[in-house]
A and B are shown apart, each in its own frame.
Chain A
Amino acid sequence: MRTLQLRAALTALLVSLAGLGDGSAIAAEPLATEPLPAEQFTIQSLPSRSPHWVYVVDEAFYNEIDARVRLFDGDSYRHLGQIDAGFNPGVIQSPDGSTTAVATTYWARGGHGERTDVVEFTDNSTLSIAGEIVLPPKRVQILPTYFNLAYSSDSRFMYVAYVTPAASFGVLDPAARKVLAEIDTAGCVLVIPSGPNRVSSLCDNGRLLTVTLDEHGQEASRALSDALFDPDTDPLFIQGVPDATGYTFLSFLGQVHEVDFTGPQPSIRPPWSLVSSAERGHWRPGGEQVAAINRALGRLYVSMHRGGEGSHKEGGSEIWVFDLKTHRRLARWPMAKSSVGAVVALQVSQDEAPLLFTAGDHRAVAVFDALTGKLRHVDSNLGQSPWFFLNP
């Protein structure tokens, strides 16, 4: 009762004050019964890791020194945080998922000045930088793939691809935070990791060069594989996709080249085709991250478009889904041009109720049910050039 009397008195006072001002009477809003409590200024902690999280690598193409990695939750559609990524970064997760490693370049004065190449380690539980390794200024500056920067299977070594334009790679010790070695690759490029001590690179003649390291990270031996592909008639995308026993590579014309990396040397399986003979040359894979695999379900998702020579970076108007065992096409999902856009990058989560993430040519990131193709969400605020996704 006392409160009500007080409120009435205050209201009367406000009305009379307002009346003094301009001569008109206004109705005042009643005040809340209790004021809001004082807030505590804190740092948000991350929730527990979910298989439906995805790390979205934004190349920031229009201001390329400012790339970043955004952590996005495909269930709540929330942006959870950000990792800075400098210029043309290589980004990879450690085998235990605890660390995001970013190989990047900074200049002393922002866009110019002395160049520093560095691998930065971010603790995935806090998104804080936990350490770094300064590199020689040789790091390959190109769009992200799984093979710009890589971990050995036991995390003992890391490998960084160098192109100066001479091709080589650096061997790092992530625990001791130091560079161990540089190994010349005779023109072959990128670092495809396998086992605790092997690195393969793609060569201009369509073969794989595999270097085996000793316990100090120095070269112990090297070998060239049989021809994996013919670079003259049907080049291979460098964006290989991790599968159950190694990596799957796609060719410009839609051949699927699976390479088993479980043995001491890569073992090349017979290739198969995404397209029928009628579709060959007309329907092609394309984009920046052209395919994704859910390893448990054995499903391959490919961004496909209609196009000819020179269209290999074109986004897909459809996602095609394949069974990796039977090679049968399970589905064709047309992408809505206005909302999703032509798909230039895609990723699928690794759980049994998987989500498919796509990045469209107009920067929209879409979330689909990866079993049915049903569109769940479109987010247009995940960066200007979200061209690479990593699973947590």
Chain B
Amino acid sequence: MHPLDRIVEKSSRRLAQRTSRRGFVALLGQVLTGSMLLPLLPIDRASRAAAAGSEPPDAASPAKSPPHKTDAGGAPNAASADPQNCEYWKYCAIDGFLCSCCGGSSHSCPPGTAMSPITWIGTCHNPSDGRDYMVSYNDCCGKTSCGNCECNRNERERPLYRLSRNNDVNWCMANSDSNYHCSVSVIMGLAEQ
């Protein structure tokens, strides 16, 4: 089990022991509401807009460093540094089409689509800098499936009953135009302590 997962698991268990189920449901509601609102926060949008606007798609990513050879969890290779490749390090639990092959980038939706306000969260290891990052997987919505760069990776992905770790469900479900187009992986921050 990944160290971050272990930490989350421990804290979840402690929380479960301390709180009632109804309390947990209320908390979950708050978390979900929070995650629905998160992409709408101006500061969040501004920082992402700056990141997206100042560089070509993915140019600022550490994955742009010269390719090296690796296997999972080890040193980098060319595929793990290419945002149009399913092996790109940030895509460790994407099951869908890569927005970077559909007019967007690894962290931006293609023109004319809409960002899914709700999301699932994962942890991916960046072999270029040896760090674990918390990433938010979001779907881009409102057009039919892009069909380019199909990617099916499932590290620490879990079935539907563990919704926040599931990549099978359509995360455009809460959008007014809920059709699924493609998926992105957005760095939220370091997963390390």
Chain A contacts to B: CB under 8 angstroms: 61-65, 87-88, 105, 107, 110-113, 115, 137, 140-143, 163-165, 167, 186-190, 202-204, 231-232, 235-238, 309-313
Q: Is there an interface contact between B157 and A310, defined as CB atoms closer than 8 Å? A: yes
Given contacts A63-B145, A165-B118, contact A235 B158 (CB under 8 A): yes
Name the B residues within 8 Å of A310 (CB-CB): 92-93, 153-157
Jot down 18 A-B pairs with beta carbons below 8 A, ordered by A. A61-B150, A62-B145, A62-B147, A64-B144, A111-B143, A137-B178, A142-B170, A163-B173, A164-B173, A165-B174, A186-B25, A187-B163, A202-B159, A203-B161, A204-B163, A238-B161, A309-B156, A310-B156
Q: Is there an interface contact between B174 and A164, defined as CB atoms closer than 8 Å? A: yes
| CA A203 to CA B170, docked complex, whole Å | 19
Known: A111-B142, A188-B161, A235-B162. 7 other contacts (CB 8 A): A65-B144, A107-B177, A112-B177, A142-B169, A164-B173, A238-B159, A238-B161
B14 contacts A by Cβ under 8 Å? no
| CA A115 to CA B172, docked complex, whole Å | 12
Give the residue of A63, A110, A142, A309 whose beta carbon is less than 8 angstroms from that of B160: A142
CB distance from B183 to the nearest CB of A (A): 13
Interface of B is mostly: loop
B130-164 vs A, CB cutoff 8 Å, 1 = contact: the mask equals 00000000000011110100101111111111110
CB distance from A385 to the nearest CB of B (A): 10
CB distance from B124 to the nearest CB of A (A): 11
Name the A residues within 8 Å of B155 (CB-CB): 309-310
Q: Which residue of B lies closest to A186 (CB)?
A: B25
Name the A residues within 8 Å of B177 (CB-CB): 107, 112-113, 115
Name the B residues within 8 Å of A232 (CB-CB): 1, 9
Chain B contacts to A: CB under 8 angstroms: 1, 9, 21, 25, 28, 32, 92-93, 95, 118, 142-145, 147, 150, 152-163, 168-170, 173-174, 177-180
Q: Is there an interface contact between B143 and A165, defined as CB atoms closer than 8 Å? A: no
CB distance from A38 to the nearest CB of B (A): 43
| CA A164 to CA B29, docked complex, whole Å | 12
Given contacts A165-B118, A231-B158, contact A65 B179 (CB under 8 A): yes
Given contacts A63-B147, A235-B162, A236-B159, contact A140 B169 (CB under 8 A): yes
Give the residue of B147, B163, B179 whose beta carbon is less than 8 angstroms from that of A112: B179
| CA A111 to CA B155, docked complex, whole Å | 30
Q: Is there an interface contact between A190 and B173, defined as CB atoms closer than 8 Å? A: no
Give the residue of B28, B143, B161 whose beta carbon is less than 8 angstroms from that of A202: B161
Q: Is there an interface contact between B161 and A141, defined as CB atoms closer than 8 Å? A: no
Name the A residues within 8 Å of B154 (CB-CB): 310-313
CB distance from B151 to the nearest CB of A (A): 12
CB distance from A88 to the nearest CB of B (A): 6
Q: Is there an interface contact between A313 and B95, defined as CB atoms closer than 8 Å? A: yes
Name the A residues within 8 Å of B162 (CB-CB): 204, 231, 235
Given contacts A61-B145, A163-B160, contact A105 B178 (CB under 8 A): yes
CB distance from B162 to the nearest CB of A (A): 6
Given contacts A163-B169, A204-B161, contact A313 B178 (CB under 8 A): no
Interface centre among B144, B159, B178 (most CB of A within 10 A): B159
CB distance from B87 to the nearest CB of A (A): 13
Q: Is there an interface contact between A238 and B160, defined as CB atoms closer than 8 Å? A: yes
Q: Is there an interface contact between A107 and B179, defined as CB atoms closer than 8 Å? A: yes
- Which 9 pairs of residues, A with B, have the shortest CB-CB distance? A111-B144, A141-B170, A310-B155, A62-B147, A64-B145, A202-B161, A310-B154, A142-B169, A238-B159
Name the B residues within 8 Å of A235 (CB-CB): 158-159, 162
| CA A163 to CA B174, docked complex, whole Å | 9
Q: Which residue of B lies closest to A238 (CB)?
A: B159
Given contacts A141-B170, A165-B118, A165-B163, contact A64 B142 (CB under 8 A): no
Name the A residues within 8 Å of B168 (CB-CB): 142-143
Given contacts A65-B179, A111-B144, A165-B173, contact A189 B163 (CB under 8 A): yes
Name the B residues within 8 Å of A87 (CB-CB): 179
| CA A228 to CA B32, docked complex, whole Å | 27
Q: Which residue of A lies closest to B181 (CB)?
A: A111
Q: Is there an interface contact between A231 and B161, defined as CB atoms closer than 8 Å? A: yes
Q: Which residue of A lies closest to B161 (CB)?
A: A202
Given contacts A62-B145, A107-B179, A141-B173, contact A186 B21 (CB under 8 A): yes
| CA A140 to CA B160, docked complex, whole Å | 10
| CA A111 to CA B118, docked complex, whole Å | 20
Give the residue of B32, B153, B159 whose beta carbon is less than 8 angstroms from that of A165: B32
Q: Is there an interface contact between B145 and A88, defined as CB atoms closer than 8 Å? A: no
| CA A164 to CA B154, docked complex, whole Å | 22
Name the A residues within 8 Å of B32 (CB-CB): 165
Q: Is there an interface contact between B160 and A111, defined as CB atoms closer than 8 Å? A: no
